[in-house]
Structure 1
Amino acid sequence: MWTARGPFRRDRWSSENEEPAGPSQALSPLLSDTHKIVSEGELHQLAQIRPLIFNFHEQTAIKDCLKMLEKKTGTYDIMQEFMALELKNLPGEFNSGNQPSNREKNRYRDILPYDSTRVPLGKSKDYINASYIRIVNCGQEYFYIATQGPLLSTIDDFWQMVLENNCNVIAMITREIEGGVIKCYPYWPISLKKPLELKHFRVFLENYQILQCFIIRMFQVVEKSTGTSHSVKQLQFTKWPDHGTPASADSFIKYVRYARKSHLTGPMVVHCSAGIGRTGVFLCVDVVFCAIVKNCSFNIMDIVAQMREQRSGMVQTKEQYHFCYDIVLKVLRKLLTLD
């Protein structure tokens, strides 16, 4: 049955410890000797989100859901929801991230993981600025790791986290440099011929493909101490503007759907720069898209509230929150035009 049950108030974080880096540019070079991984036609088909059951009853339920969401977006209801999320008191603690030995591992001083949901590394449970996120919708759990864009000093930790959690997909929703500021240190090799040598890992770039809205990179990550190899697919979304949200939802729909199709093992690793704003949008719409496919109800406010209980500030701005609604509206409208 279709329903769409419809709450931190920072438009920005004032204490971001950003690193000036000259003019904004992509650090990913054009490479050669690669093979196509997916076609734009296949991505277009993935973006045609369709429920498993699409009879008259379900179409009527979708129409009712669409009307309710359109009414909500035409009023102040969405902003009231966001304000309620902002004002909700969450009693999480950040002791590990505030330890003197861990402070330099944080990209931003005031964006830390809760102690209760942080991702521990190794037997000693070492620190990385990353959080386990479990979102329950219609009785099904969706499992992610939300994390910051790695620093130069945390690249080895990042790959340790990926391997220890058996993750096969990394969704990266930022360019390396935006607006003259380093948002994420490149944690992968730029050459097909030369691996990235780290303290504990060796990362090989085996293939790549540059698409209209994102880049696919295929890695083999080798643990030096054991020789164990792990395949990882990284998807870097390149069409999010320096400020605001994407002008078109189409590219992000394709990106999220391809990430879901690619996911096989472990939690999906999702990061932007801080690991809360764009990352939160990705998690929210991924859960909603899965709900639509499975003829399940969804509640955007509840999904965001669940995320914020596990990592502070998920879906960081009111514009990002509104974008979650906009992108779902676009999918539902398109769905009703299908034969």
Structure 2
Amino acid sequence: MSSPMEVREKAGRDNDEDEDDSDDLNLRKSLPSSSQKKTSTKSVFGNKVNSENVKSSHHLSFSNKYELVFPEPLENDNDEEMWDVDDLSYRNRWSSVDTESAGPSKSVSPVLSGTSRLSKDDSTRVPLGKNNDYINASYIRIVNHEEEYFYIATQGPLPDTIEDFWQMVMENNCNVIAMITREIEGGVIKCYSYWPISLKEPLEFQHFRVLLESFHITQYFTIRIFQIVRKSTGKSQFVKHLQFTKWPDHGTPASADFFIKYVSYVRKSHITGPLLVHCSAGVGRTGVFICVDAVFSAIKKNYSFNIMNIVTQMRKQRCGMIQTKEQYQFCYEIVLEVLQNLLALN
């Protein structure tokens, strides 16, 4: 178990998208707190989405028509490439660099470059165990129309925090992990592979054992099913690990389609506990995911929503959520595409 001081010395990777500090999103407007209901609404006109509240049209059924616009992948889709994990079972986890996306855990170098300190609001941090030990993770609660959406935003595990990560997953009864990065992008390590690479060989820790039950590849994300076992009690739980593999090395995806389908699939997979989301530092792409997921939930129920307010709520609970203007704009592009396609079906 890492102490708070030890982990803070490791420092969080707050530049996980390799953008200049000058591109940092600076929200200057004072908005209502997360407990307040929004009353004003604005419409969508042409190709613009106003930063004020947007009300989805009541005659649109997001639940029924969304699947027509963006059909989600089935776990036995023809475009999936099945991997034989046994062929990779004897690979050294840290011995080589591989920039290919997807697949079972790619072996990476143990040196993590470009790290820096990430400050957090201690009131929302996720405590570990009876001693409330430290991990670089924050509870995020997004309130919209008196409904609350609950997440954990966290840094991608480091070699000496992997057991802490799995402890957090188990203690919070998380059944889904959304990973929005590849292990290596552009030759730079973004996240250590923290899962077993063989069906036959579990990943052993002092207090936990993690087993890979199954996995396969879709066109734009990888699905893995893990079983976590607490050694002292034998208690276990299953976790669905969904790794998005189409985010480019720099900037944001050229097309929103894949990310829209991914976010929807993650939401439909969620059953228990907070939805756990991470990228590299757990702020940039993680913030985009949480914002878009909250908006999709609002659209599905014909609720109004305010993207700026959602981002402000996130930033009050974890510093730097949505790091750049480009990421902020991407949230609007995603939502606009969904609304336009729903209107076209009407």
Which TM-score applies when normalising by structure 1?
0.71
Letter of the structure 1 residue corresponding to residue 43 of structure 2: C
Distance (whole Å) between structure 1 residues aligned to residue 231 and residue 154 of structure 2: 24
Name 1:242's counterpart in structure 2. 249
Alpha-carbon deviation of 1:13? 6.6
Name 1:149's counterpart in structure 2. 156
Name 1:88's counterpart in structure 2. none
SS of the aligned residue for 2:161 comes to: helix
Aligned residues: 253
Pairing partner for 1:291 from 273, 290, 298: 298
Name 2:314's counterpart in structure 1. 307
Letter of the structure 1 residue corresponding to residue 250 of structure 2: H
Distance (whole Å) between structure 2 residues aligned to residue 65 and residue 236 of structure 1: 34
Pairing partner for 2:43 from 52, 60, 65: 65
Name whichever structure is richer in helix by fraction. 1
Distance (whole Å) between structure 2 residues aligned to residue 66 and residue 223 of structure 1: 50
> CA 1:224/1:194 → structure 2, altered by over 3 Å: closer, same or farther?
same
Name 1:323's counterpart in structure 2. 330
Distance (whole Å) between structure 2 residues aligned to residue 69 and residue 166 of structure 1: 41
> CA 1:71/1:182 → structure 2, altered by over 3 Å: closer, same or farther?
closer
Distance (whole Å) between structure 2 residues aligned to residue 292 and residue 263 of structure 1: 18
Instruction: Note if contact 2:49-2:336 (Cα within 8 Å) is conserved in structure 1.
Output: no
Name 2:208's counterpart in structure 1. 201
Name 2:227's counterpart in structure 1. 220
Name 1:39's counterpart in structure 2. none
Q: CA deviation digits over 1:179-227, x for unaligned, max 9?
A: 1111111110111111111121111111112000100000001111111
Name 2:341's counterpart in structure 1. 334
Q: Kindly report which structure 2 residues correspond to 1:63-142, keeping only aligned pairs within 5 A, or say none.
A: 65-67=43-45, 70=48, 72=50, 108-142=115-149
Instruction: Note if contact 1:217-1:235 (Cα within 8 Å) is conserved in structure 2.
Output: yes
SS of the aligned residue for 2:304 comes to: coil
Letter of the structure 2 residue corresponding to residue 331 of structure 1: V
SS of the aligned residue for 1:337 comes to: helix
Q: Kindly report which structure 2 residues correspond to 1:35-46, keeping only aligned pairs within 5 A, or say none.
A: none
Name 1:169's counterpart in structure 2. 176
Instruction: Note if contact 2:44-2:50 (Cα within 8 Å) is conserved in structure 1.
Output: no
Distance (whole Å) between structure 2 residues aligned to residue 232 and residue 13 of structure 1: 35
Letter of the structure 1 residue corresponding to residue 45 of structure 2: K
Q: CA deviation digits over 1:134-172, x for unaligned, max 9?
A: 000111000000000000100000000000001000000
Instruction: Note if contact 1:135-1:141 (Cα within 8 Å) is conserved in structure 2.
Output: yes
Instruction: Note if contact 1:112-1:129 (Cα within 8 Å) is conserved in structure 2.
Output: no
Q: CA deviation digits over 1:74-116, x for unaligned, max 9?
A: xxxxxxxxxxxxxxxxxxxxxxxxxxxxxxxxx9432132111
Name 1:160's counterpart in structure 2. 167
Gapped runs of 5+ residues in structure 1?
1-9, 15-61, 74-106
> CA 1:178/1:11 → structure 2, altered by over 3 Å: closer, same or farther?
closer
Runs of 4+ in 1 over 4 A off after TM superposition: none
Q: CA deviation digits over 1:107-128, x for unaligned, max 9?
A: 9432132111110000100000
Distance (whole Å) between structure 2 residues aligned to residue 200 and residue 147 of structure 1: 21
Distance (whole Å) between structure 2 residues aligned to residue 175 and residue 13 of structure 1: 21
Distance (whole Å) between structure 2 residues aligned to residue 71 and residue 263 of structure 1: 28
Distance (whole Å) between structure 1 residues aligned to residue 344 and residue 212 of structure 2: 41
Name 2:62's counterpart in structure 1. none
Letter of the structure 2 residue corresponding to residue 268 of structure 1: L
Alpha-carbon deviation of 1:66? 1.9
Letter of the structure 2 residue corresponding to residue 306 of structure 1: Q
Gapped runs of 5+ residues in structure 2?
1-16, 22-40, 52-113
Instruction: Note if contact 1:132-1:145 (Cα within 8 Å) is conserved in structure 2.
Output: yes
